[in-house]
């Protein structure tokens, strides 16, 4: 089947540098192939390694050549649109410049805790690895932030403080988003909002609400 990235300017298009969002689209095809029984776990691991080592669209082709389905050139991932009536800024919780707007964990782990700035759009990818995000002493770049997660055979734990609202919109494929935060001790509408989205494939995302100092 002709891949959808092969267009009239094939040579130029295939030589373009791929982004993390592009790799994630290809990873979705590999995950689906594994869940359909087309790839063994060993093959999936090998192809995930090759995928994240890829630099151009041409490098994707050996990873998916024998698998069905089209792989479109994905649009650039954009930060969430600003609401017409954004939540008002809460002193001490909102403001600052984030050091990084994305994190990728492959066969390893990361922690974000203490004094750090959560970007308005934060992209986390955990493949056979884990990430722990503690927002209790963090500040938010804006009054509404989005944490977008892709967990593949990995896990992400998020702890939020009492003074922010939480909205969890993720879904799982042979995995789960466990939301223990948005249903209890949710502050009022004036509080900053943390939106947690994404997908867990053979993995999990756990969202908890804890006070500062609570274990």
105 touches 131 (CB < 8 A): yes
Structure tokens at 92: 């001490």
144 touches 118 (CB < 8 A): no
Which helix (H) or strand (E) segment is 58 a member of? Answer: helix 57-64
Domain edges within the chain? 12-65, 102-209
Average confidence (pLDDT) over 48-63? 84
Inform me whether the pLDDT recorded for 85 exceeds 70.
Answer: no
CA pseudo-torsion sign 72, 73, 75, 76: positive
Mean pLDDT of the chain: 80
pLDDT score of 124: 92
* pTM reported for the whole predicted model: 0.57
SS3 207: strand
Inform me whether the pLDDT recorded for 144 exceeds 80.
Answer: yes
Which helix (H) or strand (E) segment is 53 a member of? Answer: helix 41-53
Inform me whether the pLDDT recorded for 1 exceeds 70.
Answer: no
**Lowest-pLDDT range of 52-66, 73-87, 112-126, 134-148:** 73-87
| Bridge partners (DSSP) listed for residue 177 | 205
pLDDT score of 13: 64
Taking only the tens place, the pLDDT of each residue in 123-137 is 999 999 889 999 999
pLDDT score of 12: 52
Q: What CA–CA distance (Å, rounded) separates 15 from 58?
A: 6
Which helix (H) or strand (E) segment is 31 a member of? Answer: helix 20-35
């Amino acid at each position: 089947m002709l891949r959808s990235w092969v267009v009239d300017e094939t040579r130029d298009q295939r030589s373009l540098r791929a982004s993390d969002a592009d790799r994630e689209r290809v990873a979705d095809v590999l995950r689906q192939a594994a869940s359909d029984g087309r790839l063994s776990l060993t093959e999936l691991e090998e192809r995930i390694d090759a995928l994240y080592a890829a630099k151009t669209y041409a490098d994707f082709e050996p990873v998916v050549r024998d698998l069905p389905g089209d792989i479109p050139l994905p649009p650039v991932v954009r930060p969430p649109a600003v609401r017409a009536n954004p939540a008002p800024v809460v002193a001490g919780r909102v403001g600052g410049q984030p050091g990084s707007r994305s994190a990728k964990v492959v066969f390893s782990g990361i922690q974000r805790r203490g004094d750090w700035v959560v970007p308005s759009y934060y992209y986390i990818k955990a493949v056979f690895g884990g990430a722990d995000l503690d927002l209790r002493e963090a500040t938010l770049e804006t009054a509404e932030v989005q944490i977008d997660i892709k967990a593949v055979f990995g896990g992400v734990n998020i702890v939020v403080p009492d003074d922010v609202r939480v909205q969890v919109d993720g879904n799982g494929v042979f995995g789960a988003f466990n939301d223990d935060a948005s249903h209890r001790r949710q502050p009022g509408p004036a509080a900053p909002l943390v939106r947690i989205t994404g997908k867990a494939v053979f993995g999990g995302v756990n969202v908890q609400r804890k006070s500062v100092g609570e274990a």
